[in-house]
Amino acid sequence: MIDITKLLCGETSSGDAIRYGRAGAGVESRDHSVSQRVPKSAAERRPVTVWNITRRCNLRCVHCYTDSRNIRYPDELTTAEGKAFLADLAEFEVPAVLFSGGEPLVRRDLFELVSHAAGLGLRPTLSTNGTLIDKKTAARIKETGFTYVGISLDGIGEVNDCFRGKKGAFELAMRGFRNLVELGQRVGLRLTLTRQNYQDLEKIFDFIEEEEIDRACFYHLVYSGRGASIAESDLTHGQSRSALEVIMRRTEDFHRRGLKKNILTVDNHVDGIYLLRHLEQRNSPRAAKVRELMEWNRGGTYSSGVGIADVDFFGEVHPDQFWMHYSFGNVRKRKFSEIWTDTSDPLMTGLKNRPAMIRGRCRLCRYFQLCGGAMRVRADRVYNDPFGPDPACYLTDEEIGLSEEMKAELTAAGEVYPVPEGLTG
Ligand code: SF4
């Protein structure tokens, strides 16, 4: 996650310690109560763990990474198996568990499992399409102890409904959002950027202001599940740059006018580099601080396989939620903590040792120490090589410092990875 508000405007948010360490969280070393929870280095982070608690969903979204439908999927983890898994996560001291799906609210024992998680000292968060959150459900969510609820939208009104495969989904999601806000539940919006909605970004920011939405996360598309079949819907590199320009300008505008909002982008660490370059080109005094925070975080270097994990409906463990085509093992057979620390799997070893494995333009990029080569799963999907460059990197060769000699070196080493046609331009 790239915290645009934090990096660009210097505002603090609750995720600062995990994302940027002590300096980022403003934690003094004498503040032991807080500093004990701040990892010493990004490499030592325990993974924020996504648990796809069910594959079933009441909607049928175009880019669903789990290819979910409204049917019963047999053999999902039982309540007892889920509780044992959560106990292991608590013992392993993961910083947060994200209950996701499918749509997690269709699972009947969701609240029982979340209460159990909270009782074990875990920080449960919820990722939902929001359409099932009537007043009663909102009250249960609040009581159960979710630390955060993220509601997915893909645009305003009909644009959203078209993506979500249901007329009225937008109004239902907003009803859910308002019901939660009314109870004081911490809640935010999640929007996946695509070619079909990025032109509406200005309108989306107006909407964030009108609806007094405190937090919005803009996700880049990752080619997985039904999202894999619409790779042509991902933003071109030029469109990604335009989107970032809008996101940064509107975030700064909120800050200037004293509107306290947390704006983040997700699943493309290149956004952080783009933001840093933006500050450096303007000789902003914030640039040095941003570089320091990014040096601690190191982008994709410590994300999937290190600081992010996914456990699916059936208990399979993946490097992240978009990597369901690869499993490290199953929590029914071995504890998650054992699977996660077992580096006998070549992909696990590689992900935990990314700088030595990276190939192509990322290997020679002047920003690799800050960006870490962004999303490995996109490289895996497009090039069938988890350590190739991220095809969604929208920085030019010149911007990343790739000289003609370096390009010749990559050619000689067989490390040329052409960007798919649909993403150029
Ligand atoms: S080339 Fe690779 S390391 Fe450099 S900014 Fe792009 S994705 Fe990041």
Per-residue model confidence as pLDDT tens digits over 275-320: 999 999 999 999 999 999 999 989 999 999 999 999 999 999 999 9
> Which amino acid makes up residue 241?
R
CA of 239 to the centre of ligand 1 (A): 17
393-416: average pLDDT: 98
Contact 217, 264 (CB under 8 A): yes
Q: Is the CB of 367 under 6 A from ligand 1?
A: yes
Confidence (pLDDT) at 17: 67
Q: Is the CB of 417 under 6 A from ligand 1?
A: no
Predicted confidence (pLDDT) per residue in 128-166, tens digit: 999 999 999 999 999 999 999 999 988 888 888 888 878
Atom number, ligand 1, closest to the C-alpha of residue 362: 2
Q: Is the CB of 379 under 6 A from ligand 1?
A: no
Q: Is the CB of 362 under 6 A from ligand 1?
A: yes
Q: Please tell me what DSSP assigns to residue 46.
A: P
Q: Is the CB of 263 under 6 A from ligand 1?
A: no
Predicted confidence (pLDDT) per residue in 79-126, tens digit: 999 999 999 999 999 999 999 999 999 999 999 999 999 999 999 999
Dist CA 373 CA 77 (whole Å): 34
Confidence (pLDDT) at 339: 97
Mean pLDDT, the chain, rounded, equals 91
Confidence (pLDDT) at 189: 95
Q: Is the CB of 395 under 6 A from ligand 1?
A: yes
Dist CA 411 CA 208 (whole Å): 46
209-220: average pLDDT: 94
Dist CA 59 CA 114 (whole Å): 23
Pocket test for ligand 1, best of 269, 271, 362 (most atoms within 8 A of CB): 362
Asked if the model's pLDDT at residue 58 lies above 90, the reply is: no
- Give Cα separations from 98 to 52, 94, 95, 109, 320 (angstroms): 8, 11, 10, 16, 12
**Residue whose CA lies nearest to ligand 1 atom number 6:** 393
29-43, 53-67, 123-137: range with lowest mean pLDDT: 29-43
Dist CA 393 CA 135 (whole Å): 42
Atom number, ligand 1, closest to the C-alpha of residue 400: 4
What pTM does this model have? Answer: 0.91
Dist CA 170 CA 189 (whole Å): 12
Asked if the model's pLDDT at residue 41 lies above 80, the reply is: no
Q: Is the CB of 400 under 6 A from ligand 1?
A: yes
Dist CA 348 CA 350 (whole Å): 5
Helices 270-281 + 237-256 axis angle, to 10: 60
Dist CA 170 CA 167 (whole Å): 8
Phi, psi of 155 (to 5 degrees): 155, -175
Asked if the model's pLDDT at residue 33 lies above 60, the reply is: no
CATH number of 2-28+36-352, picked from 3.40.50.2300, 3.20.20.70, 3.40.830.10, 3.30.1330.10: 3.20.20.70
Confidence (pLDDT) at 365: 98
Atom number, ligand 1, closest to the C-alpha of residue 374: 7
CA of 363 to the centre of ligand 1 (A): 8
Pairing of strands 316-318, 329-330: antiparallel
Q: Is the CB of 368 under 6 A from ligand 1?
A: yes
Confidence (pLDDT) at 159: 82
Confidence (pLDDT) at 43: 65
Q: Is the CB of 359 under 6 A from ligand 1?
A: no
Q: What percent of the chain has pLDDT over 90?
A: 77
Asked if the model's pLDDT at residue 51 lies above 50, the reply is: yes
3-state DSSP assignment of residue 53: coil
Pocket test for ligand 1, best of 304, 371, 403 (most atoms within 8 A of CB): 371
Give the torsion sign (CA, 394, 399, 404, 408): negative
**Residue whose CA lies nearest to ligand 1 atom number 2:** 362
Phi, psi of 329 (to 5 degrees): 150, 180
Asked if the model's pLDDT at residue 20 lies above 60, the reply is: yes
Residues 6+ apart with CB under 8 A from 221: 63, 192, 193, 194, 227, 230, 231, 233, 234, 235, 267, 392
Residues 6+ apart with CB under 8 A from 183: 138, 139, 142
Predicted confidence (pLDDT) per residue in 87-97, tens digit: 999 999 999 99
H helices of 231-323, in order, are 237-256, 270-281, 287-297
CA of 375 to the centre of ligand 1 (A): 10
* CATH 3.20.20.70 domain locations along the chain: 2-28+36-352
Cis before 10? omega within 30 = no
Predicted confidence (pLDDT) per residue in 336-351, tens digit: 999 999 999 999 999 9
Q: Is the CB of 86 under 6 A from ligand 1?
A: no
Predicted confidence (pLDDT) per residue in 362-402, tens digit: 999 999 999 999 999 999 999 999 999 999 999 999 999 99
CA of 130 to the centre of ligand 1 (A): 34
Atom number, ligand 1, closest to the C-alpha of residue 395: 6
- CA nearest neighbour of 97 among 139, 125, 128, 118: 125
Q: What percent of the chain has pLDDT over 70?
A: 92
Asked if the model's pLDDT at residue 266 lies above 50, the reply is: yes
